[in-house]
Amino acid sequence: MSKIPDDLKYSKSHEWVRVEDGNVIIVGITDHAQAALGDMVFVETPQTGTRLDAEEACSVVESVKSASDIYSPAAGEIVAGNSNLADSPELINDDPYGEGWIFQMRVDDTDALVGLMNAQAYEAFCEEE
């Protein structure tokens, strides 16, 4: 069974979101997603300062099986990309909710995040899928 921490929010495209202070959120992909994708071989993180619409593709994770887009959960601006992933894409497999975070962004409005799922809803969503 994959890990689904209670203190995070989740999207239907299998990103997790941690809400920090000052409209900043941290985004990565879930344990379920990394297990489904398999061993990561390449990650492209967004440039700091990039403006994004909600649900805009802004990163790519490439595994031995496939390449997948990562979407922004809400409109906003990229604050940082995880530069460690360039040399160590396996961090996403090893520690998806910690060292394997993908980007941080400042969202225009945290209300835009209400559509995300809580841990319980995401677990049900994964079961159904």
Partner 1 sequence: MLIFEKSSTGRQAGGQAPANQIEAGDIPASMLRKDKPTLPEVSELQAVRHYTQLSQKNYSIDTQFYPLGSCTMKYNPRACNSLAMLPGFLGRHPLNQNSVSQGYLGCLYELQEILADVTGMRKISLAGMAGAQGEFAGMSMIRAYHQARGDDNRTEVLVPDAAHGTNPATAIMCGMKVREIPTNKKGDVDLEVLRTMVGPQTAGLMLTNPSTLGVFERRIMEISKTIHEAGGLLYYDGANLNAILGKARPGDMGFDVIHLNLHKTFSTPHGGGGPGAAAIGVGERLEPYLPVPHVVKEGEDCRWADENDIPDTIGRLSAFGGNAGVLLRAYVYIRMLGREGMQRVAEFATLNANYLMKRMKENGFDLAFDGRRATHEFIVTLKRQAKEHDATAMDYAKRLLDYGHHAPTTYFPLLVPECLLIEPTETEDKDTLDNFANAMRLIDEEARMNVETLKTAPVSTPLRRVDDVKAARELNLIWRPDQIDEQADNKVA
CA quadruple 98, 99, 102, 107: dihedral positive or negative?
positive
Residue whose pair of structure tokens reads 């959960």 in the numeric block: 73
Residue 7 or 39 with smaller CB distance to partner 1 = 39
Residue whose pair of structure tokens reads 């299998």 in the numeric block: 14
Closest separation in Å from C-beta 26 to partner 1: 25
Residue 36 or 119 with smaller CB distance to partner 1 = 36
Closest separation in Å from C-beta 67 to partner 1: 8
CA pair distance 22, 32, nearest whole angstrom = 29
Closest separation in Å from C-beta 69 to partner 1: 9
Helix/strand/coil percent split, the chain, to 5: 20, 35, 45
Residue 111 or 129 with smaller CB distance to partner 1 = 129
Q: Which residues bind partner 1 (CB under 8 A)?
A: 36, 39, 41-42, 64-68, 89
